[in-house]
Structure 1
Amino acid sequence: MSKTGRADETAALHRLSMESLPTLPKEVARPSYDRAAVSPGIVHLGLGAFCRAHLSVYTDDILAAGATDWGIVGVDLLSPAIRDALKPQDCLYSVFSRQAGGDQLRVVGSMLDALALPDDLGRAFSLMIAPTTRIVTLTVTEKGYCQDAATGALDENNPAIKADIANPSAPRTVPGVLTEAIRLRRAAGVAPFTVLVCDNLAQNGATARRIVVRFAELIDPELSRFIAENIAFPCTMVDRITPATRDEDRAAIANGFGIEDAWPVVCEPFRQWVIEDNFPLGRPRWEDVGALLVKDVHPFELMKLRCLNGAHSTLAYLSVAAGIETIAEAMGDADLNAVVHRLWKEDLIPTLPPVPGTDVTAYTAALEERFLNPGVRHRTLQISSDGSQKLPPRLLEPALSRLQAGALPQAIVLAVAAWMRFTTGVNERQESYDIADPMAARLRAIGERNGHDAKRLAGELFAIADIFPPELLGYSAFRDAVEKTLHSLLTKGVRPTLKTFLG
């Protein structure tokens, strides 16, 4: 629990709110500024855990340093659940940093209001066209951008995109919401806001720009040209491990600190933010509180996307099959630990460009320590979600790079085979699990139909062009190695396959 040892379950619980802030234990950090004096300057789309453990924390530090015009209003695009949890708490919430040296709790106050798009569309647009709003930020996961996984372009056949094109004034997708907000702002004669993407996408700002420009073109080509010429989409690299909040976490906060928080955020102590410095209407001085402002984010994002996220995916798919629940348990397994070290050394680090001011080997050593943090219960099944979209940038692109260099990326082969084995929907204990993926129905059908035949399973999955590019499949050694490893996983199991891999 807390460093003070407060764990008495009989202590009175205080529902988190502005009124209860003074009653919280002294070891709980809280806003030191006057929230009533803060005005919103940022509208954030996506109210999940990551933004509240990352963007909102950096911005909370900015407000504590004296800024008063960079408060955040959060908008959930899908569900009112987080809004309904936060509003009775005056949009305060706690960030529960779990670490071996003692858990720490912090109350964050930078989120001034919370909306749900289905109920609050008009209010959301009013805020986005307000001159005081200079930045619109996003954390909506890869699938929220409605892109074609194979090309990176807008998926024009996506039913939600089609619906927004048919009714652009009442959008529900990210491209639709941004396009309509920009149109309304332009019509009101207000200078364009900056769109700041905080999702794990390769060249995330450029990706969002490409998708929004194309969406607008399908509605109004002149508006599309305006967006292409006038809206800034800086790229970012974001990093903080933030597992899904569990009831056990709420109970730990209640028992350890005497606080009732309907939707706290759990995270590791580490945080990193690298931002392309392109903000025509200005920005918070995030660099004063630990962010790195640069001209080119690409080397940093590639390092993180491959070394952290690629390792996460590799651990996740092998662990789900073996029945290992968390990343900490997986990284603590000698065989899996050795796999990740080979993945970094042989398959991923050689594909990276120089990263300014960074020793990549030291970076991966720090990653190992972060993965081993027992306080962060980052579930492998959670990380396994959306594999059809995560696999290409995290593992398939570096695989192609190594193949082009004349090397067979054997650790990536193992990871891809483990993902294919994952599509069967059953682990080695014969326990079923959900496949959370935009292609879930298709993947599940392929996995169930071919779960005992590696050749057929690999063949049908390789045939999905949205995942596996023809250039990669042109290397028969890669295809054959994946199929052989998949056969081992299906017939012998994870542990014997790892022993063979490690020699």
Structure 2
Amino acid sequence: MVQLNARTLGALGEGVTKPAYDRAAVTPGIVHLGIGAFHRAHMAVYVDDLLAETPDWGIVGASLRRPDTRNALAPQDGLYSIAVRDGSGTLVRIIGSILEVIDANTERERLLSLMAQPEIRIVSLTITEKGYCHDPATGVLDEANPDIVHDLQEPTAPVSAPGIIVEALARRRAAGIAPFTVLSCDNLPSNGVTTGRIVTRFAALRDAALGQWVEASVAFPSTMVDRIVPATTDADRAMITEVTGLEDAWPIMTEPFTQWVIHDHFTLGRPAFDRVGAQLVADVEPYELMKLRMLNGAHSSIAYLGYLAGHAYVAEVMGSADFRAFIAGLMTEEAMPTLDMPGVDLGAYRDELLARFSNPALNHRTWQIAMDGSQKLPQRLLGTIRDRKAAGLSYRRLALGVAAWIRYAAGTDEKGEPIDVRDPFVERFEAIAADADGDAERLVAGFLQIGEVFGPDLREDAAFRQIVTEHLKALIADGAAQTVARNA
């Protein structure tokens, strides 16, 4: 089979859209750290839409941990397919905005050198919550993180994202080059503010004057990003080959919906993102909170409860009337009242989310969403719970989501089979589960001691502990499906 690359674009099947610009004229203006599936379904598409008019905003991606994406895209000259799917069918398009992918582990100096060049005006990130090397409960740099310890000892050979960014900024400062904008596209609360706090603190620990310069000179705009991107399967690859007539090592599957809200604050300019559908605003936080609490909070609850109930995919979960009612109630009765969004129809947003979750063409795995729960829970569920508690309001459904995470993270499903738990704290989970030996009260007590997740307030909150324990007992005794039905 002929592989997708710059030389074979002319052999594409009919109906497949290809780049409407001369890729040879495109030059890099953006370095993106953590070039996974989400970036390639989201920001890279917005940039692709603009390159015909402004070809100096091409993207150079960097893989920070594994070379998988580089290995897949290098033979394809950075080109890849994106398939937009819903119940009505599939539309396939070729994206050309990524010029190359650098493996930071083997080409670290080349990456740093590029980031220090004046033509790079934005460094963007999708490194997942754990990539920020921070305490997710407080949003501050985890100074004991092994990668941070390494990067402070060896600042010119960094391995963490904060270390890489600060080293590149230090080189620009030394050369008299204005700093790039650092643009987080991850699901963190106030992601720009959080990223700025982490990067500035790391820079100050490295050198006080550098920290002051970063704080005074670098822009860290906040963003809200939204598009559902399931993991690509071999069946997806086969479908892409059939449609395009070419082999693509790593195509992207996604939904029609896409949203990007950006605080319009950039050090050295930006592409005209607003001309291709992004919203440029003065304050992203209300949109971000809406998404974290309604979409992400619901998604995590679907993932843990759905997985425990035996559902492999989100659409399967939403096919259950009890689950659908539970998720609708979680958003309507518990999340929406904590949001202050004048002019935004939260009910319409909820209905849109329910429809997106029910998209039968996406095959979004509950196990995929369940990854790294320790990094996600503080933003997705616990912040809403804190607000509900402060107002003296019930948080029964949210607490069931927390209990389901504990049941899942303990590592054994309802059939007694092991769960492949992927989380930075998985060894701590295993120790807690072994000590608890299936006892709900001991499990909750053990998990609440993870201060990076629950903080000191929820750890000591007797009412919170009680309701989570009651839910966990029900999950263990009756299973997720029955427990959801009782709480729908």
- Class of the TM-score when normalised by the shorter of the 2 chains: over 0.9
- Helix, strand or coil: the match of 2:171? helix
- Helix, strand or coil: the match of 2:183? strand
Contact 1:149 1:467 in 2 (8 A): yes
Q: Which residue of the other structure, out of 442, 462, 466, is the alignment partner of 2:452?
A: 466
Contact 2:449 2:459 in 1 (8 A): no
- Helix, strand or coil: the match of 1:408? coil
Q: Could you tell me how far apart the structure 2 residues matched to 1:168 and 1:414 are?
A: 44
- Please report how far the alpha carbon of residue 391 of structure 1 lies from its aligned counterpart in structure 2 after TM superposition: 0.6
The answer for the alignment partner of 2:365 in structure 1 is 379
Q: Could you tell me how far apart the structure 1 residues matched to 2:134 and 2:227 are?
A: 24
- Helix, strand or coil: the match of 1:28? coil
**Deviations, residues 421-461 of structure 1 (Å, cap 9, x unaligned):** 11221211233221111111101221243252111111111
Q: Which residue of the other structure, out of 14, 36, 46, is the alignment partner of 1:26?
A: 14
Q: Which residue of the other structure, out of 309, 322, 325, is the alignment partner of 2:312?
A: 325
Query: What is the percent sequence identity of the aligned residues?
Result: 50
- Please report how far the alpha carbon of residue 14 of structure 1 lies from its aligned counterpart in structure 2 after TM superposition: 3.0
- Please report how far the alpha carbon of residue 224 of structure 1 lies from its aligned counterpart in structure 2 after TM superposition: 0.4
Q: Could you tell me how far apart the structure 2 residues matched to 1:349 and 1:45 are?
A: 33
Q: Could you tell me how far apart the structure 1 residues matched to 2:405 and 2:460 are?
A: 20
1:487 aligns with 2:473: yes
- Please report how far the alpha carbon of residue 118 of structure 1 lies from its aligned counterpart in structure 2 after TM superposition: 1.1
Contact 2:227 2:254 in 1 (8 A): yes
Q: Which residue of the other structure, out of 282, 305, 308, is the alignment partner of 2:295?
A: 308
Contact 1:53 1:242 in 2 (8 A): yes
The answer for the alignment partner of 1:61 in structure 2 is 49
- Please report how far the alpha carbon of residue 164 of structure 1 lies from its aligned counterpart in structure 2 after TM superposition: 0.8
The answer for the alignment partner of 2:220 in structure 1 is 233
Q: Could you tell me how far apart the structure 2 residues matched to 1:426 and 1:403 are?
A: 31
- Please report how far the alpha carbon of residue 342 of structure 1 lies from its aligned counterpart in structure 2 after TM superposition: 1.0
Q: Could you tell me how far apart the structure 1 residues matched to 2:208 and 2:46 are?
A: 37
1:434 aligns with 2:420: yes
Contact 1:421 1:451 in 2 (8 A): no
Contact 1:236 1:275 in 2 (8 A): yes
Match runs of 1:95-494 below 5 Å: 95-354=82-341, 357-494=343-480
- Helix, strand or coil: the match of 1:103? strand
Contact 2:448 2:458 in 1 (8 A): no
Contact 1:38 1:70 in 2 (8 A): yes
The answer for the alignment partner of 1:4 in structure 2 is none
Q: Could you tell me how far apart the structure 1 residues matched to 2:462 and 2:65 are?
A: 43
Residue type at the aligned position of 1:30: K
- Please report how far the alpha carbon of residue 473 of structure 1 lies from its aligned counterpart in structure 2 after TM superposition: 4.4
- Please report how far the alpha carbon of residue 122 of structure 1 lies from its aligned counterpart in structure 2 after TM superposition: 1.9
Contact 1:425 1:448 in 2 (8 A): no
- Please report how far the alpha carbon of residue 498 of structure 1 lies from its aligned counterpart in structure 2 after TM superposition: 2.1
- Helix, strand or coil: the match of 1:303? helix
TM-score, length-scaled by structure 2 = 0.98
Contact 1:408 1:478 in 2 (8 A): no
Q: Could you tell me how far apart the structure 2 residues matched to 1:457 and 1:17 are?
A: 52
Deviates more, 1:460-469 or 1:381-390: 460-469
Contact 1:307 1:349 in 2 (8 A): yes
Q: Could you tell me how far apart the structure 1 residues matched to 2:485 and 2:70 are?
A: 48
The answer for the alignment partner of 1:8 in structure 2 is none
RMSD: 1.2
Contact 2:19 2:95 in 1 (8 A): yes
**Deviations, residues 286-344 of structure 1 (Å, cap 9, x unaligned):** 10000000000000000001100000000111012111101111111111111101101
- Please report how far the alpha carbon of residue 165 of structure 1 lies from its aligned counterpart in structure 2 after TM superposition: 0.7
Q: Could you tell me how far apart the structure 2 residues matched to 1:263 and 1:140 are?
A: 18
Deviates more, 1:203-212 or 1:78-87: 78-87
TM-score, length-scaled by structure 1 = 0.95
1:40 aligns with 2:28: yes
- Helix, strand or coil: the match of 1:69? helix
Q: Could you tell me how far apart the structure 2 residues matched to 1:444 and 1:241 are?
A: 30
The answer for the alignment partner of 1:15 in structure 2 is 3
The gaps in structure 2 that reach 5 residues or longer are none
Q: Could you tell me how far apart the structure 1 residues matched to 2:184 and 2:395 are?
A: 31
Contact 1:323 1:429 in 2 (8 A): no
- Helix, strand or coil: the match of 2:451? coil
- Please report how far the alpha carbon of residue 96 of structure 1 lies from its aligned counterpart in structure 2 after TM superposition: 1.3
**Deviations, residues 181-216 of structure 1 (Å, cap 9, x unaligned):** 000011111111111111111011111110111111
Contact 1:194 1:279 in 2 (8 A): yes
Residue type at the aligned position of 1:251: A
Residue type at the aligned position of 2:25: A
The answer for the alignment partner of 1:7 in structure 2 is none
- Helix, strand or coil: the match of 1:104? strand
- Helix, strand or coil: the match of 2:55? coil
Q: Could you tell me how far apart the structure 2 residues matched to 1:450 and 1:330 are?
A: 29
- Please report how far the alpha carbon of residue 157 of structure 1 lies from its aligned counterpart in structure 2 after TM superposition: 0.7
Contact 1:424 1:447 in 2 (8 A): yes
- Helix, strand or coil: the match of 1:161? helix
Residue type at the aligned position of 1:347: E
Q: Could you tell me how far apart the structure 2 residues matched to 1:442 and 1:495 are?
A: 27
Alignment size in residue pairs = 488
Q: Could you tell me how far apart the structure 2 residues matched to 1:269 and 1:24 are?
A: 22
